[in-house]
């Protein structure tokens, strides 16, 4: 009996059961700590899709200073990033690149659709080269309306995203 | 582990061909953008030999939204909001030339006070644009202070424009027939004090950025565009003015009240990256003097906007009008067939013309100089793609 | 790579020039081709005299001003427009050189529009650059006219080197048949038209003979529709 229990396969099963129990016991404090870490270090990808990037730049500037809310200035390497702010219109030529960038980012990753064009197509809804919203390409967490949104609106959107991360369960 | 020589021997014995390194193999193709801190909404394919660029092929169109086609489905007033989107931080200028072209077609005369306010809005917007351009130039060269300072100073002019027009960046203020509404109370004094502040700041910019030895080393003598080449390539704005061609649409073809304003066309003779990045600052300083003159000469009261019909239309005709925007000459070619909707609208933008200089300037430069050369061309990809 | 391109360019340049010189000798043969419809059916091709008869120019012509730097304050003059002397001089210079090849569509203050046949455009453009000082192109715009079954391509030519021409824009236009839209390229005369012509090719489907790269520029790589700025391309739902 004892020998059977300690055979390699059974031992593995036992260990995994034990770890499940451990995770269940430690879930809420550990999850809180991990989410806390994610909230205050959101790194956006430096991918500008259209003109809303001007207001994104203004939000990183000294007056609005999005960094004090834990959103760090747009950064070059997407391997270190966990947030895409889709800054405006996504054209048919840009759409595959946007998906490519999203696929290359490590988990977990979040998407903010900034501006009317990124939400529904906005002013350019009847253009031949513009997608009606980015929902079809990447899963969107927070929509920030406006054309272009004021930096305050963008900051509020970022805080909503942080709220969402705080409540989400880690896997 | 066999050595390389042994491998070669073995491949010889097996009768395999050893491929010698050819000229093409030595070159490496790099695709820069659209996800790249030094590129934005734009991609260019370059080939490098070592770290020298030997070939460059721009690939724009990531923000091509079909503005010109959309214009054919809306009437001239409905067209304004989407036409200013290509350069939302220079929106007064891009609607300015549109208004001029439409006024020529419809046959409206703008009231004198309206012309002055229109020019003030366009000059303030030129500063907003150029400060943003300067901020991004700071990022490109890794100079974080130069990102923070102009972005902060930009906000004071945005506040001014917000008081004038009611919106932060997309004003839709310069419209056919004049401007949308009159100046607010006390705008003149506020504007003058902000201009004084900016003039003080420009000196500090020179100290921290333009006189910075690192910046000088990265830009002086890099990617020289000679006068002949600049004319041949048809570049415009600060790029052509850096190559000792004193061309400014405000001087060459004065629109509205610019022939009553006394100002100099700032230009430089070296044609390198430093000249191309310094001319916009000179332009901003000149623009401050222009705003002071405009505020002084403006009539105290009067109409600011000519009354338009509900669906403004003129007889069939064509017009091509241009203004000097932040990036150079910005022209609208409008064909009208007598209906309220334009038959064809072509936007001739400075960015699209300056893009042609990019392959010529990059070839022969080092890879590390690429951001400095690229952004010195005063290029805004969204506008070029339209 | 770039060296190869340049060689090709030179070859193409030589080819196009020889073609042009031969075309002048074979003028009659080319005119017999059925491609351009008779000019009487086209509303904008008729005027050969300096005073424009169409309502086009009459509406927007401004009052006469002094030539070097006239203000463009547009006051629509309903009376017979008098072409300004400087612009008239420019047109006469062209007329003396080319005669009936160059058709003057209108003369407005600071704006001249001339129209030439596609086979003459290279010759006229090189004269404009070498002898008259129009040294760069500001834009190339194509317009679709489905009624005439034609596409009009407009080159907006400006000048940096001659100071008195700085305010002037000369519109050099040529019309081509829509079914087989072809025009000789001006890239060997005006380097600045390179991207503009490429854009015109993809937006209106005008093939520029001799242009090194008639290919996709702004539209997505998988674009499989007719060129979008043609009038028979309709936006969905409009």
- The pLDDT tens digits of the residues spanning B165-219 come to 888 888 888 888 888 888 888 888 999 998 999 999 999 998 888 888 888 888 8
Nearest to A126 among C222, C225, C237 (CB): C237
CA of residue C170 relative to chain centroid, distance: 9
**Chain C CB contacts of A129 below 8 Å:** 219-220, 228
Q: Is it the case that residue C36 has pLDDT exceeding 60?
A: no
Both tokens assigned to B42: 């734009």
> Which one is the CATH code of C55-68+79-209: 3.30.460.80, 3.40.50.300, 3.40.50.2300, 3.40.640.10?
3.30.460.80
The reply to whether residue C69 touches residue B254, judged by beta carbons under 8 angstroms, is: yes
Contact B151, A62 (CB under 8 A): yes
B242 vs B16, residue with greater confidence: B242
Contact B258, B327 (CB under 8 A): no
Overall average pLDDT of the C78-104 stretch? 76
**Chain A CB contacts of C220 below 8 Å:** 91-93, 129
pLDDT tens across B20-50, in order?
A: 566 667 788 888 877 766 656 788 888 888 8
Q: Which of B9-13, B16-20, C95-99 has the highest mean pLDDT?
A: C95-99
Q: Where are the domains of chain C?
A: 55-68+79-209
Distance CA B56, CA B44 (A): 7
Contact A167, A38 (CB under 8 A): no
Q: Is it the case that residue C76 has pLDDT exceeding 50?
A: no
Both tokens assigned to A74: 């747009």
Question: Order of strands, edge to edge, in the sheet holding B344-348?
Answer: B317-325, B328-336, B344-348
CA distances from C217 to A89, A92, B233 (A): 19, 14, 18
pLDDT tens across C176-205, in order?
A: 888 888 888 888 888 888 888 888 888 888
A120 contacts chain C (CB < 8 A): no
- How confident is the model at residue B385, as a pLDDT? 86
Max alpha carbon distance in chain A (Å)? 73
Q: How many other CB atoms sit within 10 Å of the CB of residue B208?
A: 14
**Chain C CB contacts of A99 below 8 Å:** none
- How confident is the model at residue C19, as a pLDDT? 38
Distance CA B29, CA B24 (A): 10
- How confident is the model at residue B237, as a pLDDT? 86
- Which segments of chain B does DSSP mark as H helices, in order? 4-13, 23-26, 67-71, 79-83, 91-106, 112-140, 144-165, 187-205, 213-219, 227-233, 238-242, 249-252, 273-297, 350-355, 357-362, 370-376, 381-385
Taking the CA of residue A93 and the nearest CA in chain C, the distance in Å comes to 5
Overall average pLDDT of the C148-167 stretch? 86
Distance CA B204, CA B208 (A): 6
pLDDT tens across B278-324, in order?
A: 999 998 999 999 999 988 888 888 888 888 888 888 788 888 988 98
SS3 B347: strand
**Chain B CB contacts of C137 below 8 Å:** 234
Chains that touch C (3 or more CB pairs under 8 A): A, B
Distance CA B245, CA B262 (A): 19
pLDDT-based confidence at residue C55 (cuts at 50, 70, 90): very low
- How confident is the model at residue B22, as a pLDDT? 65
- How confident is the model at residue C75, as a pLDDT? 43
The reply to whether residue C160 touches residue B47, judged by beta carbons under 8 angstroms, is: no
Contact C109, C62 (CB under 8 A): yes
- How confident is the model at residue B15, as a pLDDT? 66
DSSP line for chain C:
-HHHHHHHHHHHHHHHHHHHHHHHHTHHHHHTSSSSPPGGG-TTS---SSS--SHHHHHH------SSS---------S-----HHHHHHHHHHHHHHGGGSEEEEEETTEEEEEE-GGGHHHHHHHHHHHH---EEEEEEEEEETTTTEEEEEEEEE-SS-GGGTT-EEEEEEEEESTT-EEE--TTT-GGGHHHHHHHHHHH--EEET-S--S--SS-TT--SS-TTSTT---TT-
Nearest to B315 among C59, C166, C199 (CB): C59
Establish how many alpha carbons lie within 13 A of residue C167's alpha carbon, considering only the half-sphere containing its beta carbon.
20
- How confident is the model at residue C60, as a pLDDT? 39
Q: Is it the case that residue C78 has pLDDT exceeding 60?
A: no
- The residue count of chain C comes to 238
Nearest to C235 among A91, A92, A128 (CB): A128
Beta C136-145 vs C150-158: how paired, if at all?
A: antiparallel
Nearest to A57 among B36, B151, B158 (CB): B151
Distance CA C23, CA C112 (A): 26
Q: Is it the case that residue B11 has pLDDT exceeding 70?
A: no
Nearest to B231 among C73, C136, C154 (CB): C136
**Chain A CB contacts of B41 below 8 Å:** 48-50, 53, 94
The reply to whether residue B63 touches residue A49, judged by beta carbons under 8 angstroms, is: yes
**Chain A CB contacts of C221 below 8 Å:** 93
Both tokens assigned to B159: 């506040």
pLDDT tens across B337-377, in order?
A: 888 888 889 998 888 888 888 888 888 888 888 888 888 88
Taking the CA of residue A49 and the nearest CA in chain B, the distance in Å comes to 6
Taking the CA of residue B59 and the nearest CA in chain C, the distance in Å comes to 7
pLDDT-based confidence at residue C77 (cuts at 50, 70, 90): very low
**Chain B CB contacts of A79 below 8 Å:** none
pLDDT-based confidence at residue B147 (cuts at 50, 70, 90): confident
A33 vs B148, residue with greater confidence: B148
- How confident is the model at residue A49, as a pLDDT? 80
Taking the CA of residue C13 and the nearest CA in chain B, the distance in Å comes to 16
The residue behind tokens 């050369």 is: B373
- How confident is the model at residue B88, as a pLDDT? 86
Beta C182-184 vs C207-209: how paired, if at all?
A: parallel
pTM value is 0.80
Nearest to C235 among A91, A92, A126 (CB): A126
Overall average pLDDT of the B267-284 stretch? 89
Q: How many other CB atoms sit within 10 Å of the CB of residue A137?
A: 17
Contact B205, B215 (CB under 8 A): no
Of chain B, the percentage scoring pLDDT greater than 70 comes to 94
pLDDT-based confidence at residue C74 (cuts at 50, 70, 90): very low
C73 vs A38, residue with greater confidence: A38
Q: Is it the case that residue C67 has pLDDT exceeding 50?
A: no
Contact B317, C59 (CB under 8 A): yes
CA of residue B144 relative to chain centroid, distance: 22
Establish how many alpha carbons lie within 13 A of residue C211's alpha carbon, considering only the half-sphere containing its beta carbon.
26
DSSP line for B130-190:
HHHHHHHHHHHTT-HHHHHHHHHHHHHHHHHHHHHHSSSS----EETTEESSPPPTTHHHH
SS3 B44: strand
Dihedral of alpha carbons B137, B140, B146, B148, sign = positive
Taking the CA of residue C217 and the nearest CA in chain A, the distance in Å comes to 11
Nearest CA among B69, B75, B61, B76 for reference residue C230:
B69
Domains, chain B, ordered by start: 57-298+316-385 (1.10.645.10)
Q: Is it the case that residue C30 has pLDDT exceeding 50?
A: no
Q: For residue B348, what is the DSSP state?
A: E
Q: Is it the case that residue C41 has pLDDT exceeding 60?
A: no
Q: What residues contact residue C26 under an 8 Å CB cut-off, 6+ apart?
A: none
The reply to whether residue B85 touches residue A51, judged by beta carbons under 8 angstroms, is: yes
Contact B265, B246 (CB under 8 A): yes
Contact A130, A124 (CB under 8 A): yes
Dihedral of alpha carbons B73, B79, B85, B86, sign = positive
Burial group, residue C238, by CB count within 10 angstroms (0-12, 13-18, 19+): exposed
Q: Is it the case that residue C51 has pLDDT exceeding 70?
A: no
Burial group, residue C65, by CB count within 10 angstroms (0-12, 13-18, 19+): middle
- How confident is the model at residue C211, as a pLDDT? 85
Q: How many CB pairs under 8 A join A and C?
A: 19
Buried b (16+ CB within 10 A) or exposed e, C79-111: eebebbebbbebbeebbeebeebbbbbbbbbbb
Q: Which of A39-43, B150-154, C4-8, C225-229 has the highest mean pLDDT?
A: B150-154
Please, what is the average pLDDT of chain B? 85
Three-point CA angle A64, A65, A67, nearest 5°: 145
Nearest CA among C5, C86, A62, A147 for reference residue B170:
A147
Both tokens assigned to C218: 């702004």
**Chain A CB contacts of B143 below 8 Å:** none
Q: For residue A42, what is the DSSP state?
A: B
Nearest CA among B364, B348, B377, B355 for reference residue B61:
B355
The reply to whether residue C220 touches residue A127, judged by beta carbons under 8 angstroms, is: no
Overall average pLDDT of the C71-78 stretch? 44
Please identify every stretch of chain A with a pLDDT value under 50, giving residue numbers as ranges. none
Quote the strand ranges of A43-133, DSSP E.
83-87, 110-114
Of chain B, the percentage scoring pLDDT greater than 90 comes to 4
C222, closest residue in chain A (CA to CA): A93
- How confident is the model at residue C167, as a pLDDT? 84
Distance CA C90, CA C93 (A): 5
């Amino acid at each position: 009996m004892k020998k059977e229990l300690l055979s390699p396969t059974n031992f593995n099963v036992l260990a995994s059961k034990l770890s499940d129990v451990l995770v269940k016991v430690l879930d809420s404090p550990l999850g809180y700590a991990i989410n806390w870490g994610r909230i205050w270090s959101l790194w956006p990808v430096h991918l500008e899709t259209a003109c809303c990037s001007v207001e994104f730049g203004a939000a990183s500037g000294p007056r609005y200073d999005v960094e004090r809310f834990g959103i760090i200035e747009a950064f070059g390497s997407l391997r270190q990033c966990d947030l895409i702010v889709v800054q405006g219109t996504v054209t048919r030529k840009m759409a595959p690149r946007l998906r490519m960038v999203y696929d290359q980012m490590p988990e977990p990753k979040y998407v903010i659709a900034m501006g009317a064009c990124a939400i529904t197509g906005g002013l350019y809804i009847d253009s031949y080269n513009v997608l009606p919203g980015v929902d079809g390409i990447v899963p969107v967490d927070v929509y920030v309306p406006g054309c272009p949104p004021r930096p305050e609106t963008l900051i509020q959107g970022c805080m909503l995203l942080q709220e969402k991360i705080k409540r989400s369960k880690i896997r | 582990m066999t050595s390389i020589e042994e491998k070669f021997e073995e491949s010889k014995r097996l009768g395999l061909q050893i491929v010698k390194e050819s000229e093409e193999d030595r070159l490496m193709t790099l695709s820069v953008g659209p996800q790249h801190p030094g590129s934005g909404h734009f991609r260019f394919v370059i080939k490098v030999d070592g770290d020298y660029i030997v070939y460059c092929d721009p690939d724009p169109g990531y923000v091509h939204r079909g503005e010109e086609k959309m214009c054919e489905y809306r009437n001239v007033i409905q067209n304004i909001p989407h036409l200013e989107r290509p350069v939302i931080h220079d929106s007064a200028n891009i609607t300015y030339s549109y208004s001029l072209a439409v006024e020529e077609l419809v046959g409206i005369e703008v009231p004198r006070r309206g012309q002055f306010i229109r020019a003030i809005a366009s000059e303030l917007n030129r500063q907003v644009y150029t400060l943003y351009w300067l901020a991004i130039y700071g990022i490109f060269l890794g100079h974080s202070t130069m990102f923070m300072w102009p972005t902060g100073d930009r906000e004071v002019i945005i506040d001014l424009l917000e008081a004038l027009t009611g919106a932060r960046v997309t004003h839709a203020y310069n419209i056919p027939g004049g401007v949308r509404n009159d100046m607010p109370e006390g705008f003149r004094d506020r504007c003058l004090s902000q201009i004084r502040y900016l003039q003080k700041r420009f000196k500090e910019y020179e100290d921290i950025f333009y006189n910075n030895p690192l910046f000088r080393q990265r830009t002086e003598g890099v990617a020289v565009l000679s006068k002949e080449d600049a004319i041949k390539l048809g570049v415009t704005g600060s790029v052509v003015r850096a190559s000792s061609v004193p061309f400014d649409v405000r001087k060459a073809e004065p629109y509205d009240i610019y022939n009553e304003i006394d100002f100099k066309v700032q230009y430089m003779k070296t044609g390198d990256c430093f000249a191309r990045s310094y001319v916009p600052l000179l332009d901003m300083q000149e623009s401050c003097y222009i705003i002071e003159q405009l505020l002084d000469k403006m009539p105290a009261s009067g109409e600011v906007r000519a009354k338009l019909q509900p669906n403004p239309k003129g007889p069939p005709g064509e017009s091509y009008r241009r203004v000097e925007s932040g990036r150079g000459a910005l022209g609208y070619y409008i064909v009208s067939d007598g209906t309220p909707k334009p038959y064809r609208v072509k936007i001739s933008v400075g960015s699209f013309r300056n893009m042609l200089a990019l392959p010529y300037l990059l070839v022969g430069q080092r890879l590390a100089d690429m951001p400095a050369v690229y952004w010195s061309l005063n290029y805004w990809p969204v506008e070029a793609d339209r | 790579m770039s060296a190869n391109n340049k060689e090709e360019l030179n070859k193409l340049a030589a080819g196009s020039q020889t073609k042009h010189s031969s075309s002048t000798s074979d003028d009659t043969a080319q005119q017999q081709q059925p491609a351009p419809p008779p000019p009487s059916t086209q509303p904008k091709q008729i005027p050969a005299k300096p005073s424009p008869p169409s309502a086009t120019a009459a509406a927007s012509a401004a009052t006469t001003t002094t030539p070097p730097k006239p203000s463009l304050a547009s006051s629509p003059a309903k009376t017979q427009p008098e072409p300004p002397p400087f612009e008239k001089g420019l047109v006469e210079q062209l007329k003396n050189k080319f005669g009936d090849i160059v058709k003057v569509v209108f003369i407005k203050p600071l704006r001249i529009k001339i129209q030439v046949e596609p086979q003459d455009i290279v010759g006229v453009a090189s004269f404009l650059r070498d002898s008259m000082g129009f040294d760069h192109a500001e834009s190339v715009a194509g317009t679709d006219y489905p009624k005439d079954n034609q596409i009009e391509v407009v080159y907006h030519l400006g000048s940096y080197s001659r100071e008195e021409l700085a305010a002037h824009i000369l519109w050099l236009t040529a019309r081509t048949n829509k079914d087989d839209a072809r025009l000789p390229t001006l890239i060997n005369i005006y380097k600045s038209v390179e991207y503009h012509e490429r854009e015109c090719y993809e937006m209106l489907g005008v093939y520029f003979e001799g242009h090194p790269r008639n290919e996709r520029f702004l539209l997505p790589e998988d674009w499989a529709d007719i060129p979008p700025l043609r009038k028979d391309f309709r936006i969905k739902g409009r």
